[in-house]
Structure 1
Amino acid sequence: MRAQLHTDWRNIPPEARGAVAALGNFDGVHLGHAHLVHTLHQTRPEAPLAVVTFEPHPRELFRPQDPPFRLTLSEERFSALSALGVQHIFQLQFDDAFSEMPAERFIDDVLQGAFDLKHIACGHDFAFGHRRGGNTDFLAERATELGMGFTLVPAFCDAGGPYSSSRIRRLLQDGYPERAASELGRPWSIRGVVQHGDKRGRLLGFPTANVSLGRHLEPARGVYATTVRTSDGSAHFGVANIGRRPTINDGSESRLEVNLFDFEGDLYGQTISVALHSLLRGEKKFESLDALKAQIGRDAEQARTLLTA
């Protein structure tokens, strides 16, 4: 079942009101987020299950100079939350005006007035309202006054501590997509529109689909074994390069270029999702295009062997 996405909190259809909702940014929708959602559902299994989240991530508004850091953009997050059984996703537009909403008004006007939530749940670090003026103690107190149930869900932990988006970002930046996948509950994916490139991959014998990283986190630069899901839902093994292509002096912007094995077709303009499985090698400058072409061939064979094992 796909969730229903609601982006205008002032215009919520009657059938979406009266749910129970988990609150948070849900960047990555990792195992800790899944624990929060499942705990809420177990608390109120008879009620429709919802999530209240924000777009863009508040950090993108308050610290626009920061490098891109998102694990999941809106579409990928929607898919991951749907897979958890969430029925309604209330995605609040986080702009300057919304950021100035006082904490009490957020509870009264949005959570109760607009959504008519019957029960809410969040983690211990959830903060909200103008200048993060509301914390979980305030949320619990005000929810009780309004007749809403409230559950503070303890952090979900392993031997390394609580699962968190920050921890997963570090794993990806350090080149460990397998470990990131174990904390996400699925391989980490970059979703984007296939753009026209310089066709250099085709000249080297390995045509690629080019996707801008955009607001996604940039993982460790190098070559990855991947699975690519195209817009028709089909999946294809492949090998991808993420980086600045130093052999051909491609400039300062990193990009994702993925070669789909045994694929023929035109992907330009389509949205694809590229899941990273394993970092095969780091970014490297080669002495010639022939040396680069030979290495790409070895990379493709290694990726194919790993993916079919």
Structure 2
Amino acid sequence: PQPLEYFLGDNAPSRLMRLREKVISCQQLPVDHLLVVKFNRCFANYDAERFIDELLIQRLNVKHLVVGDDFHFGKARRGNFALLKEHGQRHGFTVEDTGSYMLDGLRISSTAIRDALGVGDLAAAEIMLGQRYSVCGRVSHGDQRGRTIGYPTANIQLFRKNTPVNGVFAVTMTGLDGNEYPGIANVGTRPTFAGSSKAVLETHLFDFDKDIYGHYVEVHFVKKIRDEQRFASLEALTAQIHKDVQAAKLFL
């Protein structure tokens, strides 16, 4: 887990990217090695000096380190850029900070992106990300209720309670055959059907009738249509989905 997920559990801020998505993104960059350290009780108790001595110097033999300008590490977040510089001078490695990237006076950060996504401002999130916000995952079998009402969905389990986005969106899907397919997606816990403890991404593709179970796909979020809501009946839900589809097509 990420540090805040370890300490706060389901109350931690939502992830913008899952680990596999980060790995895939790194594969598109000139990165030779990616080290993933499991954050557990033992690692959480590393003080800043031990983090530097054991991980950076002894295990990685670091020569040059690049960190964010607000980077903190070690137990109680006591380690910072100044401490890294101090140890670098002592042990022969250099340290560089990336500096803050500002856009119209706003510091670009995961918090700012998460805030934009949380209020449905996908355009602002896209500007900060440099691309549309997207979610990747493998299409799995669901309860197939959508198929019974004329709106079959490709379901992606998100395995988390909190997500950066929630509601109904105009989307596109890639990862199937080189084409980009338009559709509509719901991200949430499906309250009309008693709900679930973890969020699910359900995507209905327009004019599409292929078996894509097991495919690893990417869903790109284009425009938020509405918040997720609970309906009194299946008929009411079906009528609203029809309206949502018509609204989504205006943006695709």
SS in 1 for 2:172: strand
Question: Residue 214 of structure 1 corresponds to which residue in structure 2?
Answer: 159
CA–CA distance in structure 2, aligned partners of residues 169 and 113 of structure 1? 36
CA contact (8 A) 1:70 1:215 kept: no
1:297 corresponds to which of 236, 242, 248: 242
In the alignment, is residue 263 of structure 1 matched against residue 219 of structure 2?
Answer: no
1:168 corresponds to which of 107, 110, 113: 113
Per-residue Cα deviation, 1:245-293 (whole angstroms, up to 9, x for no partner): 44x3432544221012333333334433222111022334556544433
The one-letter code matched in structure 2 to 1:265 is K
Question: Residue 195 of structure 2 corresponds to which residue in structure 1?
Answer: 251
Question: Residue 281 of structure 1 corresponds to which residue in structure 2?
Answer: 226
Per-residue Cα deviation, 1:189-241 (whole angstroms, up to 9, x for no partner): 22233332221111111100122232374245321011223366654222101
Question: Residue 40 of structure 1 corresponds to which residue in structure 2?
Answer: none
CA–CA distance in structure 2, aligned partners of residues 95 and 286 of structure 1? 41
The one-letter code matched in structure 1 to 2:57 is Q
RMSD: 2.4
Give me the identity figure in percent: 39
Moved more, 128-137 or 162-171: 128-137
CA contact (8 A) 2:132 2:222 kept: yes
TM-score relative to the length of structure 2: 0.87
SS in 1 for 2:37: strand
Question: Residue 101 of structure 1 corresponds to which residue in structure 2?
Answer: 46
Question: Residue 182 of structure 1 corresponds to which residue in structure 2?
Answer: 127
Moved more, 258-267 or 227-236: 227-236
Question: Residue 35 of structure 2 corresponds to which residue in structure 1?
Answer: 90
* Shift, 1:141, TM fit: 0.8
Moved more, 213-222 or 157-166: 213-222
The one-letter code matched in structure 1 to 2:5 is E
Q: Using a 3 Å threshold, how does the CA distance of structure 1 residues 252 and 93 change in structure 2: closer, same or farther? A: closer
CA contact (8 A) 1:239 1:303 kept: yes
CA–CA distance in structure 1, aligned partners of residues 186 and 147 of structure 2? 14
SS in 2 for 1:274: strand
CA–CA distance in structure 2, aligned partners of residues 223 and 263 of structure 1? 19
CA–CA distance in structure 2, aligned partners of residues 231 and 57 of structure 1? 30
SS in 1 for 2:137: strand
Structure having the larger proportion of residues in strand: 1
SS in 1 for 2:226: strand
Segments of 5+ residues of structure 2 without an aligned counterpart are: none
CA contact (8 A) 2:173 2:182 kept: yes
CA contact (8 A) 2:15 2:164 kept: no
